[in-house]
């Protein structure tokens, strides 16, 4: 089994600029239960294949009603830190991208600080980023920018991206899902961000959440699909122009080894890659009989053209299976995780193709309604099999439990009934959760939230006992350097020890 090699020395950052900044490690949290899209088709009385073929989905992750975005992010960050043996003092920035708000003022990041404060580290920059499904990419961009800036103190950043996606009764309900990805951002990364990227933003009302007493969004599905595809077109052309300036050559499909898209549902991903093909065709000036007539037609008139969509699907199928299909594993099994969707695709690609990814370019298209969109690229500079082995995605997906559509509906009804409730303790089904999952155990009379964790599998004694009895080969984890604490972190650590001493004496 291949093992990542990291320096055992703390980064030397004074007077130097970080290079090859990107993703050094990543992990995902998805719940232990799911509902089958086949079962939902029968339950809702729709035609066979409406969700499995029409949407391109296989299953949808279902959170326990006692899970919220805070608990899901607590689980994701804890797992990242513990699985990769990252020192808690080595984190200098933490940013969360999510739209699943449980408080209009207090950031999810502040809840995550409980994990670091108990280890003496409160010197951590960053806060939440919000714009529909784009917040995760904003968190990644901001984390990378911090490391490349003059303010960087030599430590790593963590970007957290994810949501719990739920919809009211109706045609959108099967497009929900859940998942949170936590990513370690740093220099000399195996997944390095390239310098070229393109962004497109507009003011549109395709998906939004103005109702403060409900988790459910207001959605104009037709408009949202059109905005998504228009953003693909604009970003592709802008990226191609910038790439040509950077590399002094034209950008084509041959320059992208893989393409990953934000995936509300898989059928939209297929249409989006078709737009890549169309833009590539228009820029090259090639002749394809069934496409030539679209050269003089405004792009706005092509987004709902079924004949064009079928033609693009036919032309791109072999390329799609090679460049896009390997990134669909998690999104087809867990559904839409909003901010986490794009990065679930990246982790899926690693799960499927880690052995052959080195030196490949991965295109990343991020979209958030409202709207904000970016196209950027990652270069795989080093071995990433350690991420595949540590995240262990395929085995974890297989370990989930399938629940009935009736149980799914009851779970959503409970979430809806409890959404504005306080001064109570949710009835969490802890026994059905993956070990190490955080969950909400109380909202008190002042609407403050408190969390617990199911049996923690990463503790040293338990890990040792499991290693002696498990039939699964142990994963050799990457070892990240322990970074010297800054003076501020040292002072904060001393203060926290003092507070702990006072609490002990009071008890």
Over 60: is that where the pLDDT of 198 sits?
Answer: yes
Q: CA–CA separation, 295 vs 314, rounded Å?
A: 19
The model's confidence at residue 288, banded by pLDDT at 50, 70 and 90, is: confident
Specify the range with the lowest mean pLDDT, choosing from 338-352, 360-374, 454-468.
454-468
The predicted structure's pLDDT at residue 479: 53
This prediction's pTM: 0.89
Q: CA–CA separation, 245 vs 231, rounded Å?
A: 21
Over 70: is that where the pLDDT of 462 sits?
Answer: no
Over 70: is that where the pLDDT of 115 sits?
Answer: yes
In the predicted model, what is the mean pLDDT of residues 145-156? 96
In the predicted model, what is the mean pLDDT of residues 200-214? 94
The predicted structure's pLDDT at residue 15: 53
The model's confidence at residue 456, banded by pLDDT at 50, 70 and 90, is: low
Q: Which residues pair with 367 in a beta bridge?
A: 373
Over 50: is that where the pLDDT of 434 sits?
Answer: yes
Contact 161, 100 (CB under 8 A): no
Over 80: is that where the pLDDT of 278 sits?
Answer: yes
In the predicted model, what is the mean pLDDT of residues 174-193? 97
Specify the range with the lowest mean pLDDT, choosing from 93-107, 245-259, 286-300.
286-300
In the predicted model, what is the mean pLDDT of residues 99-127? 97
| Residue 452 buriedness (CB in 10 A; 0-12 / 13-18 / 19+) | middle
The predicted structure's pLDDT at residue 212: 85
The predicted structure's pLDDT at residue 17: 81
Q: Which of 58, 95, 99, 328 is catalytic?
A: 99
**Cβ atoms within 10 Å, residue 117:** 16
Contact 139, 147 (CB under 8 A): no
The predicted structure's pLDDT at residue 507: 38
Mean pLDDT of the chain: 89
133 included as an active-site residue:
yes
Tokens standing for residue 446: 């002042």
Q: How many percent of the chain have pLDDT more than 70?
A: 87
Which among 150, 354, 375, 164 has a CA at the least distance from the CA of 262? Answer: 375
Over 90: is that where the pLDDT of 460 sits?
Answer: no
Strand-pair category, 438-443 with 449-453 = antiparallel
Residue 161 CB partners (closer than 8 Å, separation 6+): 96, 97, 98, 135, 136, 137, 139, 140, 180, 181, 183, 339, 340, 342, 343
Q: Residue 357, SS3?
A: coil
In the predicted model, what is the mean pLDDT of residues 420-426? 94
- Length of the chain equals 507
Q: Which of 125, 215, 262, 339 is catalytic?
A: 262
Over 60: is that where the pLDDT of 14 sits?
Answer: no
Over 70: is that where the pLDDT of 494 sits?
Answer: no
Q: Which of 133, 227, 235, 334 is catalytic?
A: 133
The predicted structure's pLDDT at residue 287: 85
Specify the range with the lowest mean pLDDT, choosing from 13-22, 160-169, 279-288, 438-447.
13-22
30-40 pLDDT per residue, tens: 999 999 999 99
The model's confidence at residue 500, banded by pLDDT at 50, 70 and 90, is: very low
The predicted structure's pLDDT at residue 132: 97
208-267 pLDDT per residue, tens: 999 988 999 999 999 999 999 999 999 999 999 999 999 999 999 999 999 999 999 999
Tokens standing for residue 11: 């980064």
Q: Residue 34, SS3?
A: strand
């Amino acid at each position: 089994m291949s093992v990542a090699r990291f320096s055992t020395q703390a980064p030397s950052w004074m007077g130097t600029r970080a290079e090859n900044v990107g993703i050094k490690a990543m992990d995902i949290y998805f719940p232990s239960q799911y509902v089958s899209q086949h079962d939902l088709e029968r339950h809702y009385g729709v035609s066979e294949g409406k969700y499995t073929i029409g949407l391109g989905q296989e299953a949808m992750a279902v959170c326990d009603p006692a899970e919220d975005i805070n608990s899901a992010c607590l689980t994701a960050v804890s797992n990242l830190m513990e699985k990769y043996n990252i020192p808690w003092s080595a984190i200098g920035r933490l940013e969360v991208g999510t739209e699943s708000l449980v408080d209009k003022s207090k950031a999810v990041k502040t809840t995550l600080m409980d994990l670091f404060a108990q280890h003496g580290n409160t010197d951590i920059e960053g806060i939440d980023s919000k714009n529909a499904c784009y917040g995760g990419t904003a968190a990644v961009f901001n984390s990378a920018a911090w490391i490349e800036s003059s303010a960087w103190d030599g430590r790593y950043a963590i970007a957290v991206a994810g949501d719990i996606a739920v919809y009211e009764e109706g045609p959108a309900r099967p497009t929900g899902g859940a998942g949170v990805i936590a990513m370690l951002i740093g220099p000399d990364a195996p997944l390095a961000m390239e310098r070229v990227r393109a962004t497109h933003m507009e003011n549109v009302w395709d998906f939004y959440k103005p109702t403060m007493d409900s988790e459910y969004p207001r959605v104009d599905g037709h408009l949202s699909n059109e905005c998504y595809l228009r953003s693909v077109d604009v970003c592709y052309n802008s990226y191609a122009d910038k790439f040509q300036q950077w590399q002094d050559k034209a950008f084509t499909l041959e320059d992208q080894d893989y393409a990953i898209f934000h995936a509300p549902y898989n059928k939209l991903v297929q249409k989006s890659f078709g737009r890549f093909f169309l833009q590539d065709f228009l820029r090259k000036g090639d002749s394809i009989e069934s496409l030539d007539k679209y050269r003089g037609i405004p792009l706005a008139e092509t987004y709902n053209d079924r004949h064009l969509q079928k033609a693009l699907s036919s032309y791109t199928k072999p390329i799609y299976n090679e460049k896009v299909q390997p990134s669909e594993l998690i999104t087809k099994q867990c559904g839409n995780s909003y901010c986490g969707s794009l990065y679930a695709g990246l982790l899926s690609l690693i799960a499927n193709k880690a052995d052959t990814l080195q030196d490949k370019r991965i295109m990343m298209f991020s979209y958030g309604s409202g709207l904000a969109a970016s196209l950027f690229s990652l270069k795989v500079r080093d071995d990433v099999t350690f991420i595949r082995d540590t995240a262990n995605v395929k085995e974890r997906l297989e370990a989930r439990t399938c629940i009935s559509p009736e149980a799914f509906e009851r779970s959503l009804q409970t979430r809806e009934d409890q959404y504005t409730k306080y001064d109570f303790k949710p009835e969490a089904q802890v026994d059905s959760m993956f070990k190490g999952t955080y969950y909400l155990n109380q909202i008190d009379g002042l609407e403050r939230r408190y969390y617990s964790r199911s049996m923690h599998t990463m503790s040293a004694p338990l890990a040792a006992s499991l290693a002696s009895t498990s039939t699964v080969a142990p994963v050799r984890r990457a070892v990240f350097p322990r970074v010297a604490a800054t003076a501020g972190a040292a002072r904060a650590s001393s203060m926290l020890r003092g507070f702990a001493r006072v609490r002990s004496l009071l008890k």
